[in-house]
Structure 1
């Protein structure tokens, strides 16, 4: 898949946020998402760069409330991340969080709590893996410990609501 020739500069935001099962819901804005996915190589070598445009776009989609769309883009980045790498674990946690955020929007708090728990487990397993020294990888620039604390605090609440969604991009250091 190639980046369309009319894409220059920042990627456009989807025209709407897709929410599966919502009455009158349109399908996702696939054309916009395809532009972001086209930026993902077939495989990243060594690590996923923290400043990769598709990664940053996927995180920003989540933070702007495009949870389903964020999951789609982050899954494309995850698929290209090195097998067995720390970035795959972190990306899987981010995908779980975007999916949990979507479930909160859909008022499925139990499902959201389960997904937040899955993300927390991924992040805790990430902390047990040997960290690379230096580098500009996604894992090295991401405050995993802060996100673990945020997830744990959410999961300590008796009931989650739409307001309990978690931002991801704001936590990444530039």
Structure 2
């Protein structure tokens, strides 16, 4: 996934991946994340566009191992998503997956499995909601069924390891976008 652009050029990657309690007292690279968060409007009208730069950047952060940072950016997009929209549910699932990935890095497999289960519950509730007409929204372009199958496989394992993290952008790229 390409780093999205804004008016001054491509968004930079954070200088380091923040891990709470594990980076020797170093705080997160909030300045870099602020660039992406500034791209998010106070509220999206109708839906969250699949190609919105902050959304794409948040997914790319997760795929590059910046799990805490991905959560931060995706939470900003989630906060601007329509209140009862399907994108809010999908974004919540993506945030939970990024958080689970972070827990795996922190070697907290039980916590990661619980978060993967929470993400699966969100995606299951999403599939039961009425779909909107096809458009360029995040939900319409995201392969929910593929992520559900992946989460079920991860949750079914007796023990998760750091290698069990889920790359969201890679799943999106491997699926055709209508």
Residue 49 (str. 1) matches residue 49 (str. 2): yes
Instruction: Give the match for residue 111 of structure 1.
Output: 111
d(CA) in 2 for partners of 1:168, 1:71? 12
Q: CA deviation at 1:134?
A: 1.2
d(CA) in 2 for partners of 1:49, 1:83? 15
Residue 67 (str. 1) matches residue 67 (str. 2): yes
TM-score with structure 1 length normalisation?
0.94
d(CA) in 2 for partners of 1:11, 1:150? 29
d(CA) in 1 for partners of 2:139, 2:77? 13
Instruction: Give the match for residue 169 of structure 2.
Output: 169
d(CA) in 1 for partners of 2:76, 2:134? 25
Instruction: Give the match for residue 3 of structure 1.
Output: none
Q: Secondary structure at the match of 2:20?
A: coil
Instruction: Give the match for residue 17 of structure 2.
Output: 17
Q: CA deviation at 1:172?
A: 2.0
Q: Secondary structure at the match of 2:110?
A: helix
The answer to whether the 8 A contact 1:109-1:161 is kept is yes
Q: CA deviation at 1:7?
A: 5.9
Choose 20-29 or 158-167, whichever is displaced more.
20-29
Q: How does 1:1-174 map to 2 (within 5 A)?
A: 8-22=8-22, 24-173=24-173
- Cα 1:43–1:23 change in 2 (3 A) is closer
Q: CA deviation at 1:59?
A: 0.2
**What number of residue pairs does the alignment pair up?**
169
Structure 2 unaligned segments of length 5 or more: list them.
1-5
d(CA) in 1 for partners of 2:98, 2:135? 26
Give per-residue Cα distances to partners, 1:137-173, cap 9 Å, x unaligned: 0000000000000000000000000000000012225
Structure 1 unaligned segments of length 5 or more: list them.
1-5
